[in-house]
Amino acid sequence: MNTAFITGITGQDGAYLAKFLLEKNYRVIGMIRRSASSDVIGERLRWLGVLDHVELVDGNLTDLSSLIRLLGQYKPDEVYNFAAQSFVATSWQQPLVTGTVTGMGAANMLEALRIAHPVGRFYQASSSEMFGKIQAAAQSETTPFYPRSPYAAAKLYAHWMTVNYRESFGLYASSGILFNHESPLRGIEFVTRRITDGVARIKLGLADHLTLGNLGARRDWGHARDYVKAMWLMLQQDVPDDYVIATGHDATVQEFCNLAFGHVGLDASAYIRVDSARLRPAEVDVLRGDPAKANNALHWHAETPLPALVAEMVEADLVRHGRAR
């Protein structure tokens, strides 16, 4: 039985990956921060029906000693680093925390692996936000980076540290440069869940409008359930490398709204309000990935079309709010 160690296991990607690996008969160890809200911290794992099948252990990316202890204790075959301050808007309000956790936290994990368990295979969750002010119409592994937020800059540091530990110390360390990936488990602070949650509330009579920011921003949206398979495939290769994971298609926030409202038979234009306070200090207008390398080397392709993803998210939020009534 292979053992996987997942930081950020209670987040969207961590939960879907845990389910995927359990189905492959892995032992799954999940690192979580000590929290007074531990009774609700595993809700995503519970939603997927796997909470009772993973082992949750205390640790923190900012505490190197805890990482060395845990990796030395469990000696995992694979380490997946998702833990981060991952909301772009918050990174402008908490840039130092974002840099410490999202950037230095990844370096701590790499250093712990080098010291305590250098034969483990490491996956770093890089982000399409690193491309920022795009230098190519479709972004690939060779497109120059131009981060436009503290979050993106922190992710870029973590990404290049992964490359450096691979090239300097011979660690098996790969990065997945993932474009936007959503699901019913997406945090409510992200625009996609804000949209589907708002649509469900309006449909059920719990709200009369939805407030958003930049409706013209274009993103390459896929399903997190599809993307965790790509992460696993990266660590099954003979040689570690970096891969863009994306659908290769983009849509505007407005188009996402149209799909969500249309799914419940409503006209988006009747309910959307725009608030300039929700705009980013430095906007990223367009992100669209070129997944050719992953398609060819990993034999991976995004499987869930955007309308199906949006419908699944809306239905999940209708269930959530329907139960709460």
Query: Which residue among 151, 157, 165, 227 is the active-site one?
Result: 151
Query: Which residue among 127, 149, 174, 183 is the active-site one?
Result: 127
Query: Which residue among 80, 91, 128, 129 is the active-site one?
Result: 129
Please count the other Cβ atoms lying within 10 Å of the Cβ belonging to residue 2: 12
Q: Is 129 a catalytic residue?
A: yes
Q: Is 151 a catalytic residue?
A: yes
Catalytically annotated residues:
127, 129, 151
